[in-house]
Structure 1
Amino acid sequence: MTTTTPIYQVDAFTDRLFGGNPAAVMPLTEWLPDPLLQQLALENNLSETAFIVPLADDPAADYHIRWFTPATEVPLCGHATLASAWVVFHKLGRAGDTVRFQSKSGVLGVSRNGDWLTLDFPRLSTESRPTPPDILAALPGAPAESLYVPNDTNYLVILENEAAVRQATPDLRRLKALGNQGLIVTAPGDDGDFVSRYFAPGAGIDEDPVTGSIHSVLTPLWAERLGRETLNARQLSARGGELRCQLKGDRVAIAGQAAFYMEGAVRLPEA
C-alpha cells in the first residue's frame, strides 16, 4: 500500500510569487523517523522544510513544528513558520486568527491581520567577540569586532552602509570552515531602517533569501541603535524580502506576507 503525505510550497515575506523565501510545509499526522525527515528536506532542496504535527491535548500549543535545511535540523526558523501558519489558515481550515507552534525554541505564536502574518519570536541574545580570522579572510572590510549568537551559533557583523551589504561576496568555503551555522551582515537602510543578508554554508545554504529568525537578533540591535521599537527591514538577497519588526521586551514581533506557489502529495518510502 502506497502512503502519501501532503506538501505545500509558500513564498514567505513577500506579496508576490518568486519573491521572498520559498519554504516547503509538510503536515503529518505523526512524526516520521528523523533520518526520513532529513531525506525529505534534502529532496525538497529548499532552504527550509517545516514539518508540523497537530497537538490535540496540549493546552499551550496547536501544532508541533520542526525545521530542516537540506543538511540539518535548526533550532529556529522564521520564514518556514510563517509559511506553516499560512498553510494552517488557508489549507487546513483553521478558524480564528491565531495559531501556536511548539518548537525547540519554545511556543511560537502567529497571528493574522488581513494579508499580514506576525510571528511572536524570542529575543535572542548576543555576545561581543573579536571577529574570527576566517570571517576577516572571507569578507574583506569586515570590522574587527562582531557579535555571536549562542542560540544558533551565527556571527553578525555590522557594515558601513546598505551598499556594502548589497555588494558583499564572502568566500563561502572560509565561512564553512568556522564550523558554525552562518554569518549575518547588516547595515542602516537607505529606504527602510536596516538591511541584512544571511550566509549559512554551515547549514547547507549558501545564501538564505529572507530569514525571519535573524530578525530576533537584528530587531533589538537596531532598536537600540536607532532609539525606537518599531522598524522596517529589508533582506537584500536576489529574491528580496520585506519585514515589519517590533521589539516587545523579551519577545520580537516579525511580520510579513506570503504568496502561495503549489501543493501536491509526496509518496513516502515503504517501511
Structure 2
Amino acid sequence: MDKLKFSTYAVFSNKDNGLIGNTSTVVETEHALSNVQMQSIASDLWQPATTFLWKKNDQWHVRWFAPDQEIGLCGHGSLAAVAHLYEKGILDTEIHFQNGIISGGVENEKCYITLASIPVIDELTIENYLLDGLKIPILGHFKTSNKNIILTDSQESVRFMSPNFEILRRSPIFGYAVTAVGDDCDFVSRTLVPHVHQLEDPATGSSHAALAPFWAAKLNKTKMKAIQLSKRGGQFHLTLEGKKVKLYGEHYKLNEGKLFLH
C-alpha cells in the first residue's frame, strides 16, 4: 500500500480583506496514476479540485479532478501546483506543464499562472430563463469556449445575486461568469456552474482567462485588478499579454499529510 504526500492550499486570496480564496489539494506522485485512482482520491478528498502533479523526463505534468469528474482546465488548481513547488523550494524558473495549456512561475515572491485568453465568440440573445434564473439586470450575454459571460449593471447586482440553479439547469450551457465594473477594483464577478455539485466556484482562474480580454477591451487596460464576490471571495491581478493572460494570486497552506493509495 503506497503513501502519497499531499498539501492543501487556498489561492487567489487576500486574507487581510477577508478574501480567503479557492482551495485545492495537491497530490505529488512519482508517476502518473490511473484515471480510476485519481478520481477515487478526488472523491475522498472532496475538494473543488484535487491537483495531481508528477515529473517525467524533467517535465512537470498536471491533471485536475473534481469529486465527480475530471476538469479540463483549472486555473486555481494550477496556481496551487505552482505554490506547492514554490513552498518546496524547487521552483526557480517558469514551469510549463506537459498538457501545454498552462504554465506558471514566481515573480517578486508572488505566484502566477499563464494561460491562453478565451475570446468572446458571439453575443447571444438574453433569454427569459436567464432573467428568471439570475434575477438581476442583464446588459449582455456573450458566448465563449469556456463559460459564458453575463454583463450586469453594478457590483451590488453581482454581490447580492441569488441564482435559481434549477432554472439555470434548463439550459445545457455549462457555466456563467457574471460580471460588472467594480467599485474599488476594475471589475467584479461570480462564477456559476449549475450542472455540477458545486454550483458556484469560489475563485476561478479559467473565468478570468475570458474576463481579462473582455474587460481589457472595455476599459482599454492590459493590467487590472479583479475581485470574485463568492462567499469565500477571491482576488486576482491580471495582465493581458497578447493572446495570453497572466494571473497573479496570493496563497496560503491549509494542511499537509499523507494518504494511502489502495
Q: Give the TM-score category using the shorter length.
A: over 0.9
Distance 1:210 1:95, change over 3 A: closer
- Displacement, 1:99? 1.8
Distance 1:40 1:227, change over 3 A: same
Distance 1:141 1:258 in 2: 32
Paired position in structure 2 for 1:179:
172
Choose which of 256, 259, 271 in structure 1 pairs with 2:252: 259
Distance 1:18 1:130 in 2: 34
Q: Would the aligned equivalents of 2:85 and 2:91 in 1 still touch at CA under 8 Å?
A: no
Unmatched 5+ stretches in structure 1: none
- Displacement, 1:195? 0.3
Paired position in structure 2 for 1:53:
54
**1:31 pairs with 2:32:** yes
**1:21 pairs with 2:18:** no
- Displacement, 1:229? 0.8
Give the alignment's Cα RMSD to 1 decimal: 1.9
Paired position in structure 2 for 1:131:
126
Q: Would the aligned equivalents of 2:6 and 2:27 in 1 still touch at CA under 8 Å?
A: yes
Distance 2:158 2:80 in 1: 26
**1:211 pairs with 2:204:** yes
- Displacement, 1:144? 6.8
Paired position in structure 2 for 1:86:
83
Counterpart amino acid of residue 118 in structure 1: Y
TM-score normalized by the length of structure 1: 0.89
- How many positions carry a matched residue from both structures? 259
**1:143 pairs with 2:138:** yes
Percent of aligned pairs with the same amino acid: 28
Q: Would the aligned equivalents of 1:49 and 1:69 in 2 still touch at CA under 8 Å?
A: yes
Deviations 1:186-230 (A, max 9, x none): 000000000000111323322111111111100101110011111
- Displacement, 1:142? 4.7
TM-score normalized by the length of structure 2: 0.92
Counterpart amino acid of residue 238 in structure 1: K
**1:98 pairs with 2:94:** yes
Deviations 1:44-81 (A, max 9, x none): 11211111121315xxxx31111111222122111111
- Displacement, 1:136? 2.8
Paired position in structure 2 for 1:8:
7
- Displacement, 1:95? 4.3
Unmatched 5+ stretches in structure 2: none
- Displacement, 1:9? 0.3
Distance 1:221 1:81 in 2: 22
Q: Which secondary structure state, in structure 2, belongs to the residue aligned with residue 121 of structure 1?
A: strand
Distance 1:178 1:35 in 2: 30
Distance 1:98 1:37, change over 3 A: same
**1:164 pairs with 2:157:** yes
Deviations 1:137-187 (A, max 9, x none): 21123527411222x3x2210010000000111111222332342111000
Distance 1:260 1:114, change over 3 A: farther
Q: Which secondary structure state, in structure 1, belongs to the residue aligned with residue 157 of structure 2?
A: helix
Distance 1:18 1:37, change over 3 A: farther
**1:109 pairs with 2:108:** no
Distance 2:159 2:215 in 1: 18
